[in-house]
Every structure is written in C-alpha cells, then in structure tokens.
Structure 1
Amino acid sequence: MQINTLSEFLTRAGTKFCLYDLGRRLQPLKNTDFEEIEAGRRPYPWPLQRHAWLAVSYWSKPGQPPYIWFLKLPLDERGLLNPAAVKHFLSALVEQLGQDLGAPLTDAQQQQLAQTPFTFQPPQDKLAAFHARLSLDLGLPPSAYLAPAQAYLEAPGLDNWQALGLQGLADLVARLPSDEALCRQLADRLFDLPLPVQNVLLSQCEHHTIPSPLARTLLDAINPELERQQPDEERIALLLRATAGCTPFAARRDKLSSLLAMAPGQTLMLTIAARLWQELTDEALLFAFLDILARQHGDLFNGLFAELVSTPALRPLILANLHNPALSDELRAAIGNLLTLTR
C-alpha cells in the first residue's frame, strides 16, 4: 500500500483531522495549507531547529475523544518538508496497522512508533495549552480544573492558589480570545495574584491571540519594571511573550525598539527571536536587532541568525540585505564569518 503524505493517510483512513504547530508556541495549521506544504509548494511557516513540530489530532466519529500524535519532521534549508522522512514514518505506521488504516493503535503500537526519530513529547505547559485549544475547537468539555480556576479569579485568595491545576489555568486562558468580560477581569486582577499564578497565566497567553486591550495592559506593565534599579529581564520577557499570539502592532514594535536601545541581555534577545519574530518583518527593527546581536551577543549570532533566515516571512528580507553597504562593520563581519563556516 503506497501512501505518500500524512493528509492522504488520514483521509484514506476515513478520519477527520486537525493540525497545530507546537514549535515556538501553539498555532493552528489549516489542513489545506498543510497539503500545500506536503506537496512542496510552500515552505513550513514556523520552522524551529530545521524541523516542523506538529500535533496531529484525528477522529472517526463526532464527539469521540481524538487520537493524537506529536510529530517532529525535518525540513531542508528552504523550509520545505522532507518527503522521505514522512514516508518513513507512514511506512512504520502502516506496518503497525496492517490493512485497517482506521484501527486505533494499541499502547504497545504507540510505544513502538514513539521509538522512531519523528515523534516528540511537548513540555507540560505547551501540552496544557494544546489540550485546552483542542477541546474548544472540537466542542469537547473542558477539564474539571477549569471551574476552580474561574472561581479563583472571581475571588482570589492567597491561601488556596496551590490547589489550582495547570490545565484549568490553560483552559481559562484559551477562552480569552472570545470572552471580553473574562479579559477585563484578568486585566484588572492579574497583577494582584500570587506571582506563580501570574507566571502560569502569562506563559499560557502566548499560545493564543489575546485581545488588544489585554495585550496593551501587559506591555504597559513593562514600564515599572524598567524603572527599577535592576530590571528583571525574565519578567520583561514573560510579559512580551504573553503578547506573541497577536499580529504585529505599533505599540509592541515601539516597545521592542526602546528595549533594543537599552542594550538588552540574552534573555530578551532570545525572546524576540523566538516569540516576536513577526515584528522583525519591520526592516529597521530587524537590522537593529541583528546589529545588537553581532555587537554584544556574538556567541548567539550564528544560531539566531540561522533560525531567523529559515523563517519564510523573514528569509527574503534578510537575503536581500546580506551585502547592504548600510550594515555596520560588526554585522557585516558576523555575517561574513557565518557564510564562511557554511561553505
């Protein structure tokens, strides 16, 4: 039985399926877009370490709990999917299932497939965000931990937050994009909550497109941190990351520009490259970032430059400016050294 793509396999198995990227953060991937990617007609939009990190959810009957695979598929230097790797995984899958493509995998079969180089286990916070989003998208009930999280936000107390479940907080944050009242409530109370609860909520926000008023509240919370004698870069990075699901907007671009002017440390540089790369489609901001990277964080330059140039939205802009005479001497030297290493 010759099956060449994951979409073909899932369709021939008689299943419905949906896809999410789990690389830098949780992002839905349209089935039609993935078919284009599988056909080699477009690059994978969110590469990380030259791989596509996919959550594949499929089911046969409406309301049925879905089966889930977490697949790590290699990409070439242009960001195109490696078809040989997909075929390798599918061959192993068909070998396990035999002729019945719609048969559920046993635990032993799942374990055997997990031994291939094409599966991975997401970290717990990302896994919680994924399950929260998947339940919403499929119309399935949330976890039993949502109600206690909602009750806690209604009447916060410093003595009972330890009983909150990560999944409940993830379920709560997943509802922010469609619940304006919940957004206002969170914006009003977030910074009065115990710091561990704040941190979990902020880390969950990055996986969703939070409404603009809440995003601006989070950006404004960076200002008092900057006024401290020793600003906490981890805290600033967490606040920035919480807005990562938002499309580029002027207030965040201005904030990044001001932070770059303050000689940020590695934590912020990594955060901008990994979570806020969308804002680097602004040419001035991109080359300000790369210039600081070359001048002050040379040990990070090769790795971050490679990640950025592999991102389809940034690749043409970077390649078109590799020999731009307006680049600083330090940046031109760093790029030259990298090109020498890759030849």
Structure 2
Amino acid sequence: MQIDTLSEFLTQAGTDFRLFDLGRRLQPLEQSDFAAIEAGRRPYPWPLQRHAWLAVCYWQQNGGQPYVWFLKIPLDERGLFNNAAVKHFLSALVEQLGGDIHAPLTDEQQQQLADTPFTFQPAQDKLAAFHARLSLALKHAPSAYYQGAVDYLTTPASQHWQQLGLQGLADVAARLHSDTALANTVQQHLWQLPEPVQQALLTQCEHHPLPAPLAKAMIEAVSAEQERQEPNEERIALLLRATAGCAPFKARSAKLSSLMSLQPGQPLLLTMAARLWQDLTDEALLLQYLTLLADQHGELFNGLFAELVSVPALRPLILANLHNPELPAPLKQAFGNLFAATHG
C-alpha cells in the first residue's frame, strides 16, 4: 500500500488526530491547513531552523489510548515539506506495524520510532503546555496538579509554593482566555508571587491566548521594570514573551518600538524574532528592528535574518525591502554583506 502523507496514514488507519506546532511556541494546526502543506500548496507557517516541529496526537476512532509523536520534518528553501523525509518516517512506521496500518503500536515500537532522526523531545515547559492544551481540546479533565495551582494562586500566602507542579500552572495558563474568574485571580496576585512561580507561569502564558486586561497588565509591568534604577532586560523579555499567544495589539507594538529606540541588548531582539515575529508584519516595526540589528548587533544579523525571512508571513515584506533606496545606511551595508557572503 502506497501512503505518501501523514494525513493519509492517520486517516487510513482509522484514527482521529490533532496537530500542534511546537517550534517557536505551542500553536494548534488545523487538519485542512496541514493537508495543504503536505500537498505542497503552501509553505509551513511557523518554521524554526528550517524544520517543522510537530506534535501529532492520534487515537482509534472506536476509543483507546491516545499516542503522541513529536516529529521534526525538514523544510526546503521555500518552506515546503521535505516529502522524502516524511516518506522515510512512514516507511519505518509501516515496517514497525508489519504492513498492517490498523495494528496498534506497542510501547516498544513507539520507542523504536522515537529513535528515528525525524523525532524530538520537547522542552519541559512546552511539553506541559502541550498536555494542557490537548486536554482542553479533547474535553478531558485537567491534571491532578491543577486544583493545587488554583488554590495557591487564590491565596498564595496559605501554602508553600515548592509543592506546586509545573503541569498545574500549565493547566491554569491554558484556561485563562476562557475563565474570567481565574484570569482575574491571576492578575490580582501575579506580581506578589515568588519569582520562580511567577517566571514559570509567565513562561506558560506565552503558549496561549490571554484576556486583553491581563495582556495589558503585562505590558504595564514592562513599563514599571523600565522605571527601575537598573532595569532587568531578561525580565522585560519574559513579560513580553508572556503575551506572545495574543495577536498583535497596539500597546505591545508601541512598547516594542519604544524599547528599540533605547538601544536594547540581545534579550529583546531574540524574543522578538522567536516569539513576537507577528508584530514584525508591521513594516515600520520590521525595518526598525532590522536596522537596530544591523547597527548595534551585527553578530546576530545573519542568523536572525535567515530565521525571519523563512517565515511566510514576513518573507514577502523582507524581500520587497532588500533594494529599498530609503533604507538606513547600516541596514543597506548589512544586506550587502549578506549577499556577498551568499554569492561568495
């Protein structure tokens, strides 16, 4: 039996499945969009290091244990799937199943598949965010750590934070956009939490949409940090990253522009490329960002340029400005150096 795509395999095997991207941050991927990507009709929307980082959860339609694959699929220079890599993985998969795609995988077979070059192990924070979002998508109960996290966030002084589980905080973050009371509780107590708890919760927030008041409070916290005698750039980056699950909004875009005018260090620039690239679809913000990179952080320019130009939402905008005569001199020079290195 010839099976060329993951969707074909999962469908013919009689499974239901959900897809998520785990590259820059956790994002759900619709099956219809994925089918178009597999067919080569569109590039992968969130490439990272020329790969698609996928979480695939599937289960038999008549019930049974869900399985999860974490797949790292190479992309070509246009951002399209490397179909040879996908077929290689599927060939190994069908071999494990003895040619019967309807056969359930044993734990040993799952482990053997995990040893292929097309799988990866997510970082713990992304893994926790994934399980939290998946339980919501499948209408399952949150983890056993959830209620303890809610109780602690409601009355932080009443118990020791060391007893909290990361998965509980991930379950909280995943529900903030739909649970107004929970979001209000978090906003009320967030800045009084011990630093490790605050940092873990903010890190989880970046993987999910947030209510507008909470996202705005995080931008206001950036302003408060700026007013300190010695602002912590890592904390500013953490607060901005926490809003990454929200579509670009005016307060964040304005804050990013004002921060860049202050000649910031690497934490902000790396955060913008890795998490807040959607804000760079604003051409003025994009050119401000690239100019700052070229003028103050030339050592980062080539690598971050390569990452940004690989993002389909940014690529046309960047390419359209490569020969813009109005570009600032540092950016023109950086582009020139880049072309010289490319054409060697």
Check whether the contact 2:19–2:56 (CA below 8 A) recurs between aligned residues. yes
How do 1:1-343 residues align onto structure 2 when only pairs under 5 Å count?
1-61=1-61, 64-157=64-157, 160-343=160-343
**Deviation, structure 1 residue 250:** 0.8
Percentage of identical aligned residues: 70
Uncovered stretches (5+) of structure 2, i.e. residues with no partner: none
Q: How many residues align?
A: 343
Q: 1:290 to 1:151 in 2, by over 3 A?
A: same
The alpha-carbon deviation at position 8 of structure 1 amounts to 0.2
Residue pair 2:152, 2:158 contacting (<8 A) in 1 also: no
Compute the TM-score of the two structures, normalised by the length of structure 2.
Answer: 0.98
RMSD of equivalent CA atoms:
1.1
Deviation at 1:204, TM superposition (A): 0.3
Q: Report the alpha carbon displacement of residue 106 of structure 1 after superposing the two structures with TM.
A: 1.9
Q: Residues 285 and 66 from structure 1, CA distance in 2 versus in 1: closer, same or farther, beyond 3 angstroms?
A: same
- 1:83 and 1:259 map into 2 onto residues whose CA distance is 42
Q: Secondary structure at the match of 2:55?
A: strand
**Any stretches of 5+ residues in structure 1 without a counterpart?**
none
**Cα pair 2:152 2:159 within 8 Å, conserved:** no
CA distances 1:219-265 after superposition (whole Å, capped 9, x unpaired): 00011110112110110000000000111111110000000001010
Q: Distance in 2 between matches of 1:62 and 1:156?
A: 43
Task: Indicate if the aligned counterparts of 1:295 and 1:330 stay in contact, CA closer than 8 A.
Answer: yes
Q: Aligned letter for 2:100? A: D
Residues 136-170 of structure 1: per-residue CA shift (max 9 Å, x gap): 10011211000111111121127510000000110
Alpha-carbon distance in 1 for matches of 2:199, 2:105? 37
CA distance in 1, matches of 2:117, 2:338: 29
| Contact in 2 for aligned 1:63/1:140 (Cα 8 Å) | no
CA contact (8 A) 1:54 1:70 kept: yes
* CA–CA separation in structure 1 for the residues paired with 2:154 and 2:229: 34
1:4-23 CA distance string (max 9 Å, x none): 00000000000000100000
Could you tell which deviates more after superposition, 46-55 or 105-114?
105-114
Distance apart, 1:289 and its partner CA: 0.3
In structure 2, distance between residues paired with 1:105 and 1:59: 11
